Amino acid sequence: MNRETSYIIPLLFSALCLGPLGSVHASPNQATVEKSQTKMHPSWDSDHDGINDCENDGSCDHTIDYSQPRDNANSAHSSIAVQPTFDCQQEKLSSAEKLICSDSTLAQYDQAMATTFKAALAKIDTTADRKRFQATQRGWIKGRNECWKEPDLKQCIEYNYKHRQAEIEAQYNLVGSSVPVHYTCEEGSSNDFVVTYFATTPPTAKVEHGETTQLLFRRETPTGLVYDAGDYKLKEHNGNANIQWGYNTESLNCAVKQ
């Protein structure tokens, strides 16, 4: 090999590696990281820092679609699970807690609940009210753990998380809401009803009547959408509302107050 050839070969090798205009080709892992940053499903961010978990532990894999929910993206990677906020290594876990520890979807609900709880707690002014809120949350956890009594344990846990989450968000105005709507009802009913609709999941309606306030949850029925909570029901249609307020009471036909 002469001197001129010995200079040409390294230059050709460098050109092949760098590509056009001397740019460095991204490795598959780098490409995956970039993709995970632009199209990442929230389930891949268990610590809520805005960065895909795989980037933090170096496990990014180009075979995984990070825009899909973590459970469904790749069953071979199901061992990479979101952890709940409580210690799954405790000796005395309820059947509900054991299921939450083994199911990343339920663990995500638990993580979301913790975030919402902290946000609400920050909005409470007095120590007494904070303690009351914390006690209410402990009572809710106890109720969640009672889901073992239900035929479908997971369904019961999901229901409890979704409704408690929506309840806190509406109570402490953590999500968007409508302007309060004033309804006046048929002659003979006392006081008006004031309804505020919240963009929770499921959607909720806070109904105020006199000194009583009820939070109603929206659900589908054979006759359409209705907001209800036990003996309290609200069905709204084109500016009118049908309201049942309490056990064994007659429904009231109401209209938006002019």
Q: pLDDT-derived band of residue 133, with 50, 70 and 90 as boundaries?
A: very high
Please report the pLDDT score of residue 38 as a whole number.
53
Q: What is the mean pLDDT of residues 135-164?
A: 96
pLDDT at 180 over 80: yes
List the CATH code of the domain at 181-256.
Answer: 2.40.128
Q: What is the pLDDT of residues 232-250, one digit of tens each?
A: 999 988 878 999 999 988 8
Give the integer Cα–Cα distance in Å for 181 and 195: 5
Inform me whether the pLDDT recorded for 137 exceeds 70: yes
For residue 16, pLDDT beyond 70: no
Alpha carbon 222 to its chain centroid, in Å, reads 27
**Model's pTM, two decimal places?**
0.65
**Residue 25 token pair:** 């080709």
> How far apart are alpha carbons 194 and 68 in whole angstroms?
41
- The tokens describing 64, both together, are 């995984």
Q: Answer with the residue of higher pLDDT: 180 or 5.
A: 180
Mean local confidence (pLDDT), 135-160:
96
What pLDDT score was predicted for residue 81?
62
Please count the helices (runs of H) and the strands (runs of E) in the chain.
Answer: 8, 8
Burial zone of 179 (CB within 10 Å; 0-12 exposed, 13-18 middle, 19+ buried):
exposed
Q: What percent of the chain has pLDDT over 90?
A: 54
Q: How confident is the model at residue 146 (pLDDT cuts 50, 70, 90)?
A: very high
Q: Is the pLDDT of residue 132 over 80?
A: yes
pLDDT over 70 at 17, yes or no: no
Task: State both tokens at 257.
Answer: 């107050």
DSSP annotation of 51: S
Token representation of residue 57:
């532990």
Question: Residue 233 has what pLDDT?
Answer: 95
Average pLDDT of every residue of the chain: 81
Taking residues 221-238, what's their average pLDDT? 90
As a whole number, mean pLDDT of residues 52-60 equals 72
Please report the pLDDT score of residue 216 as a whole number.
96
pLDDT at position 160 is 97
Structure confidence at residue 226 as a pLDDT band (50, 70, 90): very high
pLDDT at residue 257, as a whole number: 83
Distance of CA 232 to the CA centre of its chain: 26
- Write down the domain spans for the chain: 3-74, 95-171, 181-256
